Amino acid sequence: MISDTDKAYIAGLFDGEGSIMMRRGIEKKKKHKGKGYRMSNSLRLSMEITMTDKSVVRWVHDVLGVGTFREKRVKGKRKDGTPYLKQYKWRCVFRDAYYVCCMIWPWSHTKLDKVQQVISHYADQALDKNVINLDEYKRIKKSVR
């Protein structure tokens, strides 16, 4: 169980260093049966926190238990010739992003509109028998690790 203090801290980190990307568009996808491709109106949804403090980004990944943690490649140099600092990225997509948005919603400020868009997208979908509640989802994700 994540404490409210940790949720609020993550929401603050996300407001300052995070981003949410939502893009809907036509995508070419391979057919599951038969040969060829099909066109699909798909939603690409991801959220991430990128910063130079590795321990903080690693902590976010460990506490949330969803998403990926990796070193971000930085190309080139600054105008004065010095190299950029190494950056680290935590990123999650789709239902993991929904889970995180539901968690940080009460403490979000700067990114509140985007957080609400993610929540609304999943809340408005017709629920079928394959959708589980967030507590069950989190338990399954932890057992897989």
> Residue 89: CB partners within 8 Å, gap ≥ 6?
48, 49, 50, 57, 69, 70, 71, 72
Q: Structurally, how many domains does the chain consist of?
A: 1
Given a contact cutoff of 8 angstroms between Cβ atoms, the answer to whether 45 and 22 are in contact is yes
Cα–Cα–Cα angle for 1, 120, 114, rounded to 5 degrees: 80
- Which range has the worst mean pLDDT, 1-5, 38-42, 118-122, 132-136? 132-136
Domain span including residue 32: 4-76+83-144
pTM: 0.75
**pLDDT tens across 50-80, in order?**
999 999 999 999 999 999 999 988 888 889 9
CB atoms within 10 A of CB 69: 16
- Asked if 46 and 92 touch (Cβ cutoff 8 Å), the reply is yes
CATH of the domain at 44: 3.10.28.10
